Amino acid sequence: MALHTSNMLPKPLILFLTECPRDAMQGIQQWIPTDTKVEYLKSLLQVGFPVLDFGSFVNPKAIPQMADTAQVLKEILPHKGTTKLLAIVANKRGATNALYAGGVDILGFPLSVSEQFQQLNTGKSISEALDELEAITTLARAEGVAVTAYLSMAFGNPYNENINPLRLQEHTERLRSMGIGHIALADTVGKADADAVGNVYKKMATDFPDLIWICHLHAKAGKAAELAAAAHANGCVHFDTALGGFGGCPLSGDALLGNLDTMELIAFAHDNGLKNNLNLEALSAAQLLANTIFTKQA
């Protein structure tokens, strides 16, 4: 494996893990009761994750499981502690609803370098999505809320689209001009391997050292450490994970494909002398709840 690294890139001694229960829950067909979601999210808030991706303000016809996000937010807000709450929005209406609900610290927006995936995921072209994101960023800035953009298909796509490698840079320049400082390079369909992850993060971290880079990958169990190592060696210290590796993208076409497993990333951190500043006792309790919730939904 020809993994490209640079001795000039920083290698901090801590990993920042964003827990993504929203990603784990949204694709489940059977309704998860609101009280169950609240209980699970409260348990995750006890762990002390820097960020919790807890829900999404989207059309419930598109993602029925997230129809109760506003109520869930109201219930978990008194328990948030130091954790920042992130909600996914796909348009200006969703952003308005999220900001009106109050308590959301970060709005996450799904963008793509693949035109086909952008249409499938949000029903908009890339150009339309960028315009929507600009409007969302303006709204969020007025309320003191941050915005994170997810650049999906950053490592390839399953549609045989021949995408110019410069598109990532072009998208990033546009995002930076909007004042977006946190960008997640995302692979929702399992195309990324360690070489691709290492090379892309090296290029982006080198070209845009002023931005915070996040790793959001979907992969089969057992692959998290290998992919995390490639990203971390090339300047990335922020990772999106989910307990048990649950979740994934319905468009992946692979029922086994899920998020990076939180416990695999914690093991990776331990093996490499990296801190994570998490309450591991609270994490074990949350893991038990996760096993109960997601086993029942399987």
Per-residue pLDDT at 253 exceeds 70: no
pLDDT at 120: 85
Per-residue pLDDT at 86 exceeds 60: yes
Give percent of the chain above pLDDT 90. Answer: 74
In the numeric block, the tokens 């004042």 are attached to 179
pLDDT at 1: 35
Distance CA(101)–CA(136), nearest Å, equals: 15
Distance CA(45)–CA(285), nearest Å, equals: 11
Q: What's the half-sphere exposure (Cβ side, CA atoms, 13 Å) at 52?
A: 29
pLDDT at 297: 47
Phi, psi of 213 (to 5 degrees): -100, 135
* Structural contact between residues 36 and 293, judged by C-beta atoms closer than 8 angstroms: yes
What pTM, to 2 d.p., does this model score? 0.92
Domain boundary assignment for the chain: 16-157+164-293
Paired residues of 16 in beta bridges: 238
Give percent of the chain above pLDDT 70. Answer: 92
Looking at per-residue pLDDT, the higher value among 62 and 198 belongs to: 198
16-157+164-293 CATH choice from 1.10.3720.10, 3.20.20.70, 3.30.310.50, 3.20.20.140 = 3.20.20.70
Per-residue pLDDT at 10 exceeds 50: no
Looking at per-residue pLDDT, the higher value among 265 and 160 belongs to: 265
Average pLDDT, the chain: 90
Distance CA(222)–CA(224), nearest Å, equals: 6
pLDDT at 290: 94
